[in-house]
A = this chain, B = another copy of it.
């Protein structure tokens, strides 16, 4: 009787199995869809598909902004595909800054692990919300709004930032405006900057035109 019951249960599980979408680990070799990438075959998955060690080491902060963002989005960690969540590691050397940027596709929740970070965002109503955060503090940056993070302490700072999307996107305003070939005259016309400032920033950030 026990064997029988196991057989019946097994049938039940087999029947239900193919229709279950507990998770959908991205097959990055296939084209994306509006809801995310197609799923890898569940039978070929192991725990390695759900664990990622790429955030364990500090990012390289030897750069202009003295900061590094190390993402675990779908492209780096295919397990988050379809689950509505992702995470990134934020390293800020002394004086490090993440310049004003937005995430078009998700809200952000930052937790300070080490150091002191001055962070802020600006609402559609043009109101500024900013504060100095210490170890253990968390702060929200609602979807699509301009925000920044600055290491305001005397040592390096470390934070983890979670997102309400597996692919929140990242648009750094200065790079969007100055690090491509958008013609200077269009940048001038659509900001309140003069041509000299635009050309200088294009030079600094690698843009042309």
Contacts and interface: CB of A to CB of B under 8 A. Distances in A.
A185 to B, nearest CB: 10
> What band does the interface of chain A fall in when counting residues whose beta carbon is under 8 Å from B?
35 or more
Nearest to A53: B137
Contacts of A94: none
- Chain copies in the assembled complex: 6
B164 A83 contact: yes
Given A4-B64, A99-B192, A142-B83, A33 B36 contact: yes
A16 B83 contact: no
A58 to B, nearest CB: 9
Given A6-B205, A178-B192, A186 B18 contact: no
A138 B72 contact: yes
B16 A138 contact: no
Given A30-B31, A170-B124, A142 B104 contact: yes
Contacts of A204: 2, 192
